[in-house]
Chain A
């Protein structure tokens, strides 16, 4: 919101206070000043220029060579605007002037071979508006050479203030002035209203009926007759332009002025266009359409609060007036509306129509029901002054149940308890009074505070404490240097995630963070996705159902950048719908924390002492097992293998604890990869971390390192290719004595010399006992026994014998 400091100064005496001090105090009291435009320094160099002559630029169709008189000399200036003409008074930026929009400095230049000594300015270049349709043409009476700060009254300071939604009272110049009055301990001065009224009773000229009292608790109408619709006087236009508003005609400008002065939105109807000279406030009972004064036809939903006349709708209450009753050049008599509408009603209307106006913005935040009369009278006064109108006698004020100031008790002791320091009672009383709150002392510790209706945000004691804190300054609240820490156990629900990240990075994985929002096609690959009702775009309309799809997008992007060798991981949540019904409960969907480890490209690149090696399933499997061994889960999980293609994997394995599957992974199938434009193999494993965490065991004991020697034996068998390593291994373990502690494979070999369907598997067997040294004989006996059993069971042939 733009605030003019010179306007503010009409309501509070800020003499001897610097702009910096005002800005700093406003920011530090909650009205954050986002930008300060000091016009007198910004427009210091600009002067009024007179375009004496123009001719076409010899080398460019769209440029004009102008002779500009700057009050002393005639200067040659090139102008690109189509509307430049000889005889115009314009805003001239001489050489050396800094242009506000873009902060560049005008230099002497040759434009397409012709010299230019300055610039003729458009409004946007001066940051006066967004208009860049042509240069700014000034009043003929302006004198060339005069500074525009003087002629255009550009000597104000304009503040851009961010108003938080709890402060509707600050959405006007008087509102901001009230805070300044409290901050600098000065009086707030309100404009005095004095206007002559005719003897004609307003009640004979118009009438008001409120049918929906809930959404319209108060409606005031004032009538002014015989108005002259014309351009507003310069001071009024200046005032509006400074805060970014475009002047229209005197009546509309006056309603805008009053709005920005006291925060009450007003609307002026052409009284002669109101059937039966009547206003009826009611909500729509059917869906209909309505043309607003910006000539747009709008669809009105049910229960839209409308202003009607005797037979039809004439305005969308609190949002925008109708074309059918707006002020035109021929308007003679006007009805000024000053009403209080219920915030949530206006908010609903504004939201559904997608139409936000200065009026609706204020109504939906909460206006003051009791400033309506003041605003209507102030408006009428200005209309009589500036549009020669005659104010009808009296006011129509429909206010079925009067809204009175709220009363709140404030304890000084509570203030101290919340803030951690004592604000002197006298200071508290002063702050509250300056903010326009009435106080009554109840006892030593208590005040009874009456909160005027312009502060709907102050509802409770804590709200008063905030007012005291912010006006007295947060800087005055001490910053403690000691805190108490309770000595009970602290918990960290993220510590296992940390352990997982450490392990994954140690194994060479890089952590990625992917956007959980993705397209339906991507999300439905791995489950039943939950759709966003109001997505940003179709490629972000669903929540991911696993981490795989996001990772594939990342891999695809990296490959496009030429980065093909990837080892990535992510910890993140995935979401699945359980039923097709609308989600009403946490039981209608699942949100699980997942861990994805994904590899692609080369495991090892070719180097002077390394051989190139592609990532493969066994690399993945090894990484997963190494990973699990570090988070204490290696020997309790059951692996299951699936060698047939499914919708995700070409082949895969699962890891389970008892009946619960903890994760699955393998080689992604080509169809899936094709969907993501990936033309190299990708292997991944995804854990359900929520499940993994539930079964993770923390070792609370250790195993004494072995004190006796091991005896190692090797054998190799030639057997059918269809025989699985794991089956042989399990068979050996089952049939061996207790002394055999470990079986592992050290060679797999296939060759025609072994036979087309045959292969060789070589095993290492480790024998030991924790309590004694073994004898060669007992090992030899078991070993020979195993050779015989394996040979028989698997139709195998011992190699090398």
Chain B
């Protein structure tokens, strides 16, 4: 009985002492085990009732226990009282640390970075072009005839009769093809301008990423494969998609790509205008007329091209309802990304 108690009290002591962290804890522990009515003293009381034959063995065992636990108790007590007097009273660990401000890239840059890295992984280069463009690069070489209603699709800021602020990043496709022979595979991110009244839904400038791939045997099927791969990497692998016929002067056939609205999962909501679909990009096979302008043989080479707006992607992704917030540059907005 007493033998069992000795073992139990030893175990309980070692458990209790683990959680001792202050002078107050030390005192409580002392009272529990070593005071006159403490558990250790109680064991010696109990020894009196033990049968004679067992007394020497248990007495020895009890002494060993007392020596062991009291030595350890003293050690812990010493450590706690010294650390208290040296440090705990002096340093307030709860005061805040020094604040460091780490800057951040604009959310549109971050969105573009993500798009860029996916297309770089698919073998695309990245190219740049000017924002102040000629009519030739922005329209004519992209198969927009003069006086054609297709030009109305893009409200244009003009600086002179022949020069304008580019309305899309597609002119960089021409600039790239002028510089090199096929194969050409590149994306062209950049800033574009539209002469549209500024509102929550539209701004006079925004950002696009265009892409082009020209080689022998490039097909519409490959266009679909590549863009579906992009969309799945960017929006999630379980998305549904569709390609709808559309019209762009520089592609034929042309398409718009829709994905299932990721806010309502296709059920229909305010963002997708109850259609369940979100239009994410325009695309198509490069029109042979465009190849004529850059002296590519359209019998030998085929290609696809695509373009998407970065603001729209970021608006949808973060649930932003007013496009102007991107260009207000309110630090309280910029800091969030």
The answer to whether A and B interact is yes
Q: Is A724 part of the contact surface with B, judged by Cβ < 8 Å? A: no
* 0/1 interface trace, chain B 130-160, chain A, CB 8 Å (1 if under): 1110100000000000111110110001111
A490 to B124, CA, bound (A): 7
B103 to chain A, nearest CB (A): 4
Most buried by B among A465, A495, A511: A511
B165 to chain A, nearest CB (A): 8
A134 to B15, CA, bound (A): 87
B24 to chain A, nearest CB (A): 29
Q: Chain A: how many interface residues by the 8 Å CB criterion? A: 91
* 0/1 interface trace, chain A 549-593, chain B, CB 8 Å (1 if under): 000001001100101001111001101000000111010010100
Q: Is B302 part of the contact surface with A, judged by Cβ < 8 Å? A: yes
Could you tell me if B205 and A164 are in contact, using CB atoms closer than 8 angstroms?
A: no
Could you tell me if B326 and A513 are in contact, using CB atoms closer than 8 angstroms?
A: yes
**Across the interface, which residues of B come within 8 angstroms of A330, CB to CB?**
none
Could you tell me if B244 and A543 are in contact, using CB atoms closer than 8 angstroms?
A: no
Could you tell me if A466 and B245 are in contact, using CB atoms closer than 8 angstroms?
A: yes
Interface locus among A254-262, A604-612, A765-773: A604-612
Could you tell me if A505 and B329 are in contact, using CB atoms closer than 8 angstroms?
A: no
Could you tell me if B205 and A515 are in contact, using CB atoms closer than 8 angstroms?
A: yes
Q: Is A186 part of the contact surface with B, judged by Cβ < 8 Å? A: no
Could you tell me if A513 and B108 are in contact, using CB atoms closer than 8 angstroms?
A: yes
Which of these, B105, B108, B157, B332, contacts A505 with CB under 8 Å? Answer: B105
A127 to chain B, nearest CB (A): 16
Could you tell me if A475 and B205 are in contact, using CB atoms closer than 8 angstroms?
A: no
Most buried by A among B253, B254, B302: B253
Which of these, A483, A492, A504, contacts B103 with CB under 8 Å? Answer: A504
A543 to B222, CA, bound (A): 40
* Residues of A455-474 whose CB lies within 8 A of B: 460, 462-463, 465-466, 469-470, 474
A512 to B335, CA, bound (A): 11
**Across the interface, which residues of B come within 8 angstroms of A504, CB to CB?**
103
Q: Which chain B residue shows the least CB distance to A485?
A: B123
Could you tell me if A479 and B221 are in contact, using CB atoms closer than 8 angstroms?
A: yes
Q: A30-B244, A419-B220, A511-B109 are in contact. Are A364 and B103 (CB under 8 A)?
A: no
Q: Is A508 part of the contact surface with B, judged by Cβ < 8 Å? A: yes
Q: Is A532 part of the contact surface with B, judged by Cβ < 8 Å? A: yes
Could you tell me if B242 and A469 are in contact, using CB atoms closer than 8 angstroms?
A: no
Q: Which chain B residue shows the least CB distance to A572?
A: B191
A168 to chain B, nearest CB (A): 9
Could you tell me if B101 and A470 are in contact, using CB atoms closer than 8 angstroms?
A: no
**Across the interface, which residues of B come within 8 angstroms of A505, CB to CB?**
102-105
Which of these, A536, A566, A573, contacts B195 with CB under 8 Å? Answer: A536
* 0/1 interface trace, chain A 486-516, chain B, CB 8 Å (1 if under): 1000111111001001001111111111111
Could you tell me if A511 and B127 are in contact, using CB atoms closer than 8 angstroms?
A: no
Q: Is B54 part of the contact surface with A, judged by Cβ < 8 Å? A: no
A535 to B132, CA, bound (A): 15
Q: Which chain B residue shows the least CB distance to A575?
A: B132
Which of these, B103, B120, B134, contacts A507 with CB under 8 Å? Answer: B103
Q: A477-B220, A494-B116, A517-B204 are in contact. Are A582 and B161 (CB under 8 A)?
A: yes
Could you tell me if A29 and B147 are in contact, using CB atoms closer than 8 angstroms?
A: no
Q: Is B63 part of the contact surface with A, judged by Cβ < 8 Å? A: no
Q: A420-B220, A470-B253, A475-B243 are in contact. Are A348 and B123 (CB under 8 A)?
A: no
Could you tell me if B128 and A493 are in contact, using CB atoms closer than 8 angstroms?
A: yes
Q: Is A640 part of the contact surface with B, judged by Cβ < 8 Å? A: no
Q: Is B99 part of the contact surface with A, judged by Cβ < 8 Å? A: yes
Could you tell me if A513 and B103 are in contact, using CB atoms closer than 8 angstroms?
A: no
A543 to B160, CA, bound (A): 13
Q: A505-B103, A508-B103, A534-B157 are in contact. Are A515 and B116 (CB under 8 A)?
A: no
Which of these, B105, B152, B225, contacts A481 with CB under 8 Å? Answer: B225
Could you tell me if B160 and A584 are in contact, using CB atoms closer than 8 angstroms?
A: yes
Which of these, B106, B150, B220, contacts A469 with CB under 8 Å? Answer: B220
Q: Which chain A residue shows the least CB distance to B252?
A: A462
Q: A513-B108, A536-B198 are in contact. Are A474 and B329 (CB under 8 A)?
A: no
**Across the interface, which residues of A come within 8 angstroms of B242, CB to CB?**
28, 474-475
A589 to B337, CA, bound (A): 36
Q: Is A344 part of the contact surface with B, judged by Cβ < 8 Å? A: yes
Q: Is B59 part of the contact surface with A, judged by Cβ < 8 Å? A: no
Could you tell me if B132 and A591 are in contact, using CB atoms closer than 8 angstroms?
A: yes
Could you tell me if B204 and A540 are in contact, using CB atoms closer than 8 angstroms?
A: yes
A534 to B285, CA, bound (A): 33
Could you tell me if A418 and B285 are in contact, using CB atoms closer than 8 angstroms?
A: yes
**Across the interface, which residues of B come within 8 angstroms of A566, CB to CB?**
331
Most buried by A among B161, B189, B222: B222
* Residues of B188-231 whose CB lies within 8 A of A: 189, 191, 193, 195, 197-198, 203-205, 217, 219-222, 224-226, 228
Could you tell me if B253 and A469 are in contact, using CB atoms closer than 8 angstroms?
A: yes
Could you tell me if A609 and B98 are in contact, using CB atoms closer than 8 angstroms?
A: yes
A507 to B104, CA, bound (A): 10
Q: Is A421 part of the contact surface with B, judged by Cβ < 8 Å? A: yes
Could you tell me if A483 and B226 are in contact, using CB atoms closer than 8 angstroms?
A: yes
Could you tell me if B219 and A419 are in contact, using CB atoms closer than 8 angstroms?
A: yes
**Across the interface, which residues of A come within 8 angstroms of B198, CB to CB?**
536
A480 to B205, CA, bound (A): 35
**Across the interface, which residues of A come within 8 angstroms of B238, CB to CB?**
none
**Across the interface, which residues of A come within 8 angstroms of B113, CB to CB?**
498
* 0/1 interface trace, chain B 304-337, chain A, CB 8 Å (1 if under): 0000000000000000000000111111101100
A582 to chain B, nearest CB (A): 5
B274 to chain A, nearest CB (A): 9
Which of these, B105, B122, B130, B157, contacts A483 with CB under 8 Å? Answer: B122
**Across the interface, which residues of A come within 8 angstroms of B225, CB to CB?**
479-483
Return 17 A-B CB contacts under 8 Å, by A number: A164-B246, A164-B247, A165-B150, A165-B247, A364-B149, A417-B217, A420-B221, A478-B221, A505-B102, A510-B104, A511-B103, A511-B104, A513-B327, A533-B160, A582-B161, A586-B130, A608-B96
Q: A29-B245, A501-B109 are in contact. List 15 more A-B contacts (CB 8 A).
A: A30-B247, A165-B152, A462-B252, A462-B253, A462-B285, A480-B224, A486-B123, A490-B125, A506-B102, A515-B203, A517-B193, A557-B330, A569-B103, A608-B95, A609-B98
